[in-house]
Amino acid sequence: MPYSIMEWYMYSVIRIFNDKRKLFLIIIIVSVMLFDIFYKIKNIPVGGMPYNANLSVFLAFTGIGPNFHALVFWMLPISLLFIVSDDIFEDFSTGNDIVQITKIGKKKYIKTMLIKGFTISFAIIFVSLMINLIVSHILLYGVTKTFESDLFKFGSLAEVCLRKPLLTNIVFIFVASILSGTIGMTGSSMALAFGDRKKVYIASFLIWYIFFIPRKSIMLSIQPFSEYNLSDILPVYIACIATHILVTIVCVIWRTKNDDLSYKNQIVD
């Protein structure tokens, strides 16, 4: 079994991709984002014209019909928990966590699980969105339709973004990926601290929906070219990230100081 952080990290990543259920879910996320661009093009009204490649990306949400954007992000904490944290529950239930902690140390074990939670969650969303962006540019090469310039005030965030649409998309892809990575890391920290699938899934879902439901939703902070300005989207993004980081810190402190591992026997499958 691995001993260093890097070896244990790679071992954990391999476990994810060797699990057909997790691999299938990752493929679903990538496919939904990819299908979105094909759906937008196919369902253009007769005589109509699609928006240009930068305005037709997944995050821009400029299409008609099913809200694939919501389909992915509504259940994001649950999806990421299953992909990056389910092995933590498995290790607790089998006692493998004690074996690993004995070999590499508790702090290294916790650090590795948090790094894995962040990086894999970040990578899944980043790669999916980048594939969507690239395919959008391939399929809509030469299309020039854009928003009417008089829809946005001069100097507004949307107006500024429309000047550099490709750069804007890349920035928002990073913004969405960092948010996803933070959610995945927090889910892993709660799994490490409590080891109870039901409680952790419910807690992750509730924390996310605190920021998802309001009128100025966290979704606005990952949607480029919207009518909202930084003063509308930045506070909720910072609050969401800060809340997840705070929960992660509390869970890590609890798990680090808790030397009694007997609670693993109380896991609810």
What single DSSP character describes residue 1?
-
Does residue 167 form part of some domain?
yes
Structural domains in the chain (count): 1
CB 191 within 8 A of CB 85: yes
pLDDT, one tens digit per residue, over 30-70 is: 999 998 888 888 877 666 677 788 888 898 877 655 577 87
Does residue 224 form part of some domain?
yes
Q: What is the pLDDT of residue 66?
A: 58
What single DSSP character describes residue 20?
H
The pLDDT-based confidence of 130 (bands split at 50, 70, 90) is very high
Percentage of the chain beyond pLDDT 70 is 87
Does residue 171 form part of some domain?
yes
Q: Using alpha carbons only, how large is the chain's radius of gyration in Å? A: 20
pLDDT, one tens digit per residue, over 199-225 is: 999 999 999 999 988 878 898 889 888
Does residue 264 form part of some domain?
no
Instruction: Say which residue, 150 or 231, is predicted with more confidence.
Output: 231
Does residue 170 form part of some domain?
yes
**Structural domain that includes position 43:** 5-259
Paired tokens of 138: 């391939």
Q: Read off the pLDDT of each residue in 164-188 and give the average, rounded to a whole number.
A: 94
CB 224 within 8 A of CB 173: no
Residue where the block lists tokens 């679903």: 28
How open is the CA angle 148-150-154, to the nearest 5 degrees? 120
Q: How many CB atoms are closer than 10 A to CB 226?
A: 19
Does residue 267 form part of some domain?
no
Does residue 181 form part of some domain?
yes
Q: Measure Cα distances from 150 to 10, 11, 36, 97, 159 in Å.
A: 51, 54, 28, 59, 9
Q: Measure Cα distances from 116 to 104, 142, 165, 230 in Å.
A: 16, 40, 31, 31
Q: Is the pLDDT of residue 267 over 50?
A: no
Does residue 269 form part of some domain?
no
Q: What is the pLDDT of residue 256?
A: 83
Q: What is the pLDDT of residue 107?
A: 84
Q: Read off the pLDDT of each residue in 130-137 and give the average, rounded to a whole number.
A: 94
pTM given for the model: 0.87
Q: How many CB atoms are closer than 10 A to CB 210?
A: 12
